[in-house]
Structure 1
Amino acid sequence: MDPLSLVVLLVMGTLAGAINAAVGSGSLLTLPVLLALGIPPGTAVRTNTLGILFSTIGSVTGYRKEIAAEGRALRPLIVITAVMASVGALLLLVSPSSALDIVVPILIVVALAMVIFQKPFVRAITARRERREAAAGETPSADETPSADPASDVASYASPAAGAVPRSPYRAPGLLAAMGGASIYGGYFTAAQGILYLGILGVATGKPMGAVNHVKNLASLIVNAAAATVYVIAHFVLGVEILWIASAAIAVGALLGGYFGAHLAKRMPEWLLRGIIVLVAVVALVRQFV
């Protein structure tokens, strides 16, 4: 690979790392470059996954305090995303690259709808739960209702009141099932997975995008690491192709962009964060049809 191509990948990797920390979908910058260089889709996805993994390392480092505050609540999510991402990576190894043309637009549209209509979704879910509890003669307890302050939710889980059973929306079966399905896609393709995670986490928890961004970044790290592990094993055992020099160029930029992007994302208002998500999703769709 020529030096100019490596420089372009380095720059795109830096921008992708920052975007991944804020909203996800940074691969929409790096993957098209790899494809434009004439690299086959399967090889491009594997090469990109290894490189973009370092953006999630950087962004998780930037959110380390928020992630640590969740403690045990995130353990089931970590296990499920790791297992399902490995399944997705294995699917990429055995499926034709043409399948990407069908799967990707559908999942991006679903993610975009979840982001745009998050608040109506949350209101509908909350109303249904309240009707069910009312019919059963129950009233929602304080620890089942999301707080307006995300930090207080974390604190109440980490240090529950005496005699109270700690609860966390991140352990909800519906959320875990949805994140498991999204992680199969993340391990399969990686691009736009952050939008899917943000949409699912926002709808399932009822929290603002900024309040679940650290969990999105952790899920992206786990998924990318699991997929990268599968690809590396397949490379050495089966001879599956990976362009290591291209992965390295993306990785250097992605690590820097991911770390600084996390600090930027924590200061962004929700309306701006949501606007960027929508913009990135639309760009992703356009890229699929152009």
Structure 2
Amino acid sequence: MEPVSLIVLLVMGTLAGAINAAVGSGSLLTLPVLLALGIPPGVAVRTNTIGILFSTFGSVYGYRREIAEEKGNLGPLMAVTAVCATGGALLLLISPTGALDVIVPLLIVFALGMVVFQKRITAALRSSQERRAARRAAGSTATAAAERGRGPVTAAGPALEGGAATEAGTDAIVGAASRSPYRSPGLIGTMGAASVYGGYFTAAQGILYLGVLGAFTGRSMRSVNSIKNLLSLIVNLAAATVYLIAHFVLGVEIVWLATAAIAVGALLGGYFGAHLAKRMPEWLLRGIIVAVALFALVRQIL
């Protein structure tokens, strides 16, 4: 591989690491470059995944305090994410090379759509979640009112007084509120599906995770960004482990020089570049991602 190509990958890896820490979708900078260098799609995805893994090490370390605050609630979510990401990586290994020539351009288009329409997708998911929460709250209120009106009969015989019913209802609401949204079955199941995509393709997975986490927790993108970075680390680590085993056992190809260039840049970008990425205008970040990805897309098609 030529020195100029390695320098380009190093620079793109640094930018990708910074973007991953702040938003996500950094692989849409590095993966298209690998494809533009003539590396086959499957090899490019594996090479990029192992290299970009180092960006998540840096970003998770930078968010270590925020992650520590939620660590007691993340066990099931982390386990499902790891298993599903492993499945996605295995799916890439068994996908025929000819199929990848068609699938990868389609996935780039899909990832680009998530980048361009991120705000609309996130708003739609959050609106749907809020409507479901409002319906559940209305149903709980109606049930509580009915119970107060007819006085529920206990096993001991006498009906509960209105005050007792109200107190029981309040306790139930407080108990529900005390449960972490990160333990929600809906969130865990949806993140499992998203992790299959992440293990298979990696590009723009962070944006997808931000949308899912924001919608199901009701929290801002900034507040769930730490957990997004942790889950991205788990997905990339699971996929990289699969690819490394396949490389040493089955001889599956990985371009190690390209991996090293991306890894060095991604590690630096993930740790030091997050603040820069957050200060860059959003239109500039999206513009760079879209331009590079479109260039690779055109090259793939032609």
> Shorter-chain TM-score: what band?
0.7 to 0.9
Superposition deviation, residue 124 in structure 1? 3.8
Question: In structure 2, do the counterparts of structure 1 residues 138 and 258 end up closer, same or farther at CA, with 3 Å as the change threshold?
Answer: farther
What TM-score comes out, normalization by structure 2 length? 0.78
Superposition deviation, residue 101 in structure 1? 2.7
What TM-score comes out, normalization by structure 1 length? 0.81
* Structure 2 counterpart of 1:155: none
Instruction: Tell whether 2:266 aligns with 1:254.
Output: yes
Equivalent position amino acid for 2:190 in 1? A
Distance 1:136 1:284 in 2: 50
Contact 1:92 1:188 in 2 (8 A): yes
Question: In structure 2, do the counterparts of structure 1 residues 278 and 32 end up closer, same or farther at CA, with 3 Å as the change threshold?
Answer: closer
Distance 2:262 2:187 in 1: 31
Equivalent position amino acid for 2:197 in 1? Y
Question: In structure 2, do the counterparts of structure 1 residues 24 and 84 end up closer, same or farther at CA, with 3 Å as the change threshold?
Answer: same
Superposition deviation, residue 26 in structure 1? 0.9
* Structure 2 counterpart of 1:81: 81
Which has the higher mean CA deviation after the structures are superposed, 76-85 or 117-126?
Answer: 117-126
Unmatched tracts of structure 1, length 5 or more:
141-162
* Structure 2 counterpart of 1:130: 134
Per-residue CA deviation, residues 238-257 of structure 1 (Å, 9 max, x unaligned), is 11001112111110110000
Contact 2:35 2:296 in 1 (8 A): no
Instruction: Tell whether 2:208 aligns with 1:204.
Output: no
- The runs of 4+ residues in structure 1 deviating greater than 6 Å are none
Equivalent position amino acid for 1:86 in 2? T
Distance 2:35 2:297 in 1: 15
Question: In structure 2, do the counterparts of structure 1 residues 218 and 254 end up closer, same or farther at CA, with 3 Å as the change threshold?
Answer: same
Instruction: Tell whether 2:52 aligns with 1:52.
Output: yes
Superposition deviation, residue 47 in structure 1? 0.6
Instruction: State, as a whole percentage, how many aligned pairs show the same letter.
Output: 61
* Structure 1 counterpart of 2:104: 100
* Structure 2 counterpart of 1:25: 25
Contact 1:23 1:277 in 2 (8 A): no
* Structure 2 counterpart of 1:175: 187
Instruction: Tell whether 2:259 aligns with 1:243.
Output: no
Question: In structure 2, do the counterparts of structure 1 residues 280 and 215 end up closer, same or farther at CA, with 3 Å as the change threshold?
Answer: farther
Instruction: Tell whether 2:198 aligns with 1:186.
Output: yes
Paired residue secondary structure (2:263): helix
Structure exhibiting the larger radius of gyration computed from Cα positions: 2
Contact 2:29 2:289 in 1 (8 A): no
* Structure 1 counterpart of 2:2: 2
Which has the higher mean CA deviation after the structures are superposed, 179-188 or 110-119?
Answer: 110-119
Aligned length: 264
* Structure 2 counterpart of 1:147: none
Instruction: Tell whether 2:21 aligns with 1:15.
Output: no
Unmatched tracts of structure 2, length 5 or more:
145-173
Paired residue secondary structure (2:74): helix
Question: In structure 2, do the counterparts of structure 1 residues 113 and 49 end up closer, same or farther at CA, with 3 Å as the change threshold?
Answer: same
Superposition deviation, residue 211 in structure 1? 0.9
Question: In structure 2, do the counterparts of structure 1 residues 256 and 217 end up closer, same or farther at CA, with 3 Å as the change threshold?
Answer: same
Paired residue secondary structure (2:273): helix
Distance 2:13 2:56 in 1: 12
